[in-house]
Amino acid sequence: MNALTQRDVGAIVDASFAILTSCGILKRPVPSFEPSLYEAAQGRIEPHFEVPQTTISPLMRRFLFHFARATQPQFIYGAGTYVGFAFAWLISGRQVGDGDFNARGVDCDSAATIIARRNMTWLETIGALDLRVADALIDLESSSDSIDLLFIDVDAVDTRKSLYTDILECAKPHLRSGALILAHDPLVAAFRNDFERFFAYIGNQDCFGPNCILPLDDCGISVTVVR
């Protein structure tokens, strides 16, 4: 089997965004994926970041980068940011754009967050970026910032992905109209029950609009919009 060309990969990213637009999740026109912009971000991240482990695939990296570039969120909140690898693609995508933005990444693992802070220096976003050691549920409850993009990827030995719903519930009062929610791993069989609860919660709340799962890799990503 032949490997995909860069052009093929860009076409897959663009097709994902066409799906999000046709589902009614993205309402504004979306720029095309630009390999040169992505490669510039890749050069700041991949050779320099310390990443002990990750399931963020090359295609998912492109998707996250392009998602933040296309949607230009003012405040990005990451729950379960570990060493900042997935978060870095979002931050880098947002950096391609106008105006200031802020981002907060929260993880209860202090050692991982120390690495994340070191990793993120390569992105030169120091002032805009706040990486906290905290339980995201507690942090969100005491937060007063309005969120435009919520990225959920918490995972722990005892709770696995069961906290996704609780995190969304705690974030709900802070989500702006039009905010977007990315939840990593909806396709992982071991997390099926956790995601059934998560999607049932989304379906039962009037404030959430359409939801879509993109099968970009074995983990997949779910995208939801706030009405």
Ligand X SMILES: C[S@@+](CC[C@H](N)C(=O)[O-])C[C@H]1O[C@@H](n2cnc3c(N)ncnc32)[C@H](O)[C@@H]1O
Q: Point out which residues bind ligand X (CB under 6 A).
A: 54, 56, 79-82, 85-86, 106-109, 112, 135-137, 153-156, 163
What is the distance between the alpha carbons of residues 28 and 33, in angstroms, rounded to a whole number?
Answer: 15
Cβ 51 to ligand X shortest distance, Å: 7
> Per residue in 185-212, is it b (16+ CB within 10 Å) or e — as a string?
bbbbeebeebbeebbebbeeeeebbebb
> Which CB, 26 or 140, lies closer to ligand X?
140
> Which CB, 20 or 136, lies closer to ligand X?
136
> Which CB, 37 or 133, lies closer to ligand X?
133
Cβ 27 to ligand X shortest distance, Å: 27
Cβ 44 to ligand X shortest distance, Å: 15
Residue nearest to ligand X (CB): 80
Q: Three-class SS of residue 113?
A: helix
Cβ 207 to ligand X shortest distance, Å: 22
> Which CB, 149 or 154, lies closer to ligand X?
154
Contacts of 75 (CB under 8 A, 6+ apart): 101, 102, 103, 104, 145, 146, 147, 148, 149
Contacts of 33 (CB under 8 A, 6+ apart): 10, 13, 14, 17, 62, 66
Cβ 38 to ligand X shortest distance, Å: 17
Token digits for 65? Answer: 């980068």
> Which CB, 112 or 202, lies closer to ligand X?
112
Token digits for 144? Answer: 């007063």
CB-CB neighbours of 54 under 10 Å: 13
